[in-house]
């Protein structure tokens, strides 16, 4: 049964990835907005922002990576919505394949597509002067955090992808997620913010994730931020996964 599931999920993921590669502009579009923001903040606002860091692009990059993921998962919701409206799920359910294989194919496609976008953004950051002394283990830790964050947001995206009534509704949920890093430590230190804004910024998921990635890039001692970041990612992932599976079972029953 397990082998059957993995085989079906792999075949269906290949199908979904073919759609992505045929419209590679979606990946490019996903990367363009974060890159444009990075260029704007570094070359226009960067000189006026005092972060205490030698390189503002290095300070900014962790937040930009999270924005890249938040931008990318809107396409996951869009692809799910399109398949739901086209009756693809019903068609596959009539075939001898694992019932959850179709859903997992979209999730795996989201991970791969977002990985490509993240590599593009890091490449542009390197061209802009980003440098890090992070070793292999540090990079693996960063990759692990970004993977968990992508999984968590992807399963959130599954919910509107399955339940939305319109194409715009399926992808519009991502806008607050893209905006969330703005009220965090991603662009400026939180101590420069007014009291209520600072309180929100310091206790929302993005700040701990950004701080953990930034510490890893700058080879700083790992603080409690990394455990807070992992707790947020795992917690969101578990809740979103549970809700998604309940909705999915109702849709295909």
- pLDDT tens digits for range 116-146: 889 999 999 999 989 988 899 999 999 999 9
**pLDDT above 50: residue 32:** yes
**pLDDT above 80: residue 92:** no
For the question of whether the overall pTM of this predicted structure is more than 0.85, the answer is: yes
**Mean pLDDT, rounded, for 154-167:** 86
Instruction: Find where tokens 């399955």 sit.
Output: 162
**pLDDT above 80: residue 51:** no
Percent residues over pLDDT 90 in the chain? 36
**pLDDT above 80: residue 46:** no
Residue 76's pLDDT band (cuts 50, 70, 90): confident
Residue 130, both tokens: 């980003």
**Mean pLDDT, rounded, for 44-55:** 75
Average pLDDT, the chain: 83
Cα 247 to Cα 187: distance, rounded to the nearest angstrom: 36
pLDDT at residue 175 in the model: 80
**pLDDT above 60: residue 2:** no
Residue 246, both tokens: 């309940």
Cα 195 to Cα 241: distance, rounded to the nearest angstrom: 34
Contact call for residues 80 and 158 (beta carbons, < 8 A): yes
Spatial CA neighbour of 38 closest among 147, 140, 130, 146: 130
Contact partners, residue 126, CB within 8 Å, separation at least 6 = none
Enter the DSSP assignment of 52. S
Contact call for residues 43 and 57 (beta carbons, < 8 A): no
**pLDDT above 60: residue 168:** yes
pLDDT at residue 45 in the model: 80
Q: Which domain holds residue 58?
A: 2-252
DSSP one-letter string for 146-200 = HHHHHHHHHHHHHHHHHH-SSHHHHHHTHHHHHHGGGGTTTTS-GGGS-HHHHHH
HEC profile of 62-79: HHHHHHHHHHHHHHHHHH
pLDDT at residue 210 in the model: 95
For the chain, give the number of residues: 253
pLDDT at residue 1 in the model: 44
**pLDDT above 80: residue 3:** no
Which long-range CB contacts under 8 A does 78-82 form with residues at least 24 apart? 78/161, 78/167, 78/170, 78/171, 79/16, 79/19, 79/106, 79/109, 79/161, 80/106, 80/157, 80/158, 80/161, 80/162, 80/170, 81/160, 81/161, 81/162, 81/164, 81/167, 81/170, 81/171, 82/167
Q: What's the structural domain count of the chain?
A: 1
């Amino acid at each position: 049964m397990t082998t059957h599931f993995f085989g079906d999920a792999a075949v269906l993921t290949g199908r979904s990835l073919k759609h992505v590669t045929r419209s590679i502009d979606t990946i490019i579009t996903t990367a363009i907005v974060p890159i444009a923001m990075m260029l704007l903040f570094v070359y226009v606002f960067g000189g006026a922002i005092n972060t205490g860091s030698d390189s503002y692009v290095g300070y900014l990059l962790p937040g930009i990576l999270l924005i890249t993921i938040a931008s990318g998962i809107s396409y996951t919701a869009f692809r799910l919505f399109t398949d739901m409206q086209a009756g693809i799920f019903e068609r596959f359910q009539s075939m001898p394949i694992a019932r959850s294989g179709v859903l997992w194919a979209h999730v795996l496609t989201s991970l791969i597509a977002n990985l490509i976008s993240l590599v593009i953004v890091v490449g542009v950051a390197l061209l802009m002067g980003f440098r890090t002394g992070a070793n292999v283990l540090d990079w693996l830790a960063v990759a692990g955090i970004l993977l968990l964050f992508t999984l968590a947001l992807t399963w959130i995206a599954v919910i509107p992808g399955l339940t939305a009534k319109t194409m715009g509704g399926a992808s519009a949920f991502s806008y607050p997620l893209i905006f969330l890093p703005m009220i965090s430590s991603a662009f400026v230190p939180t101590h420069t913010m007014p009291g209520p804004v600072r309180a929100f910024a310091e206790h929302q998921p993005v700040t701990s994730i950004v701080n953990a990635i930034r510490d890893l890039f700058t080879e700083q001692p790992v603080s409690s931020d990394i455990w807070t970041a992992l707790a947020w990612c795992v917690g969101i992932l578990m809740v979103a996964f549970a809700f998604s599976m309940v909705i999915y079972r109702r849709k295909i029953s």
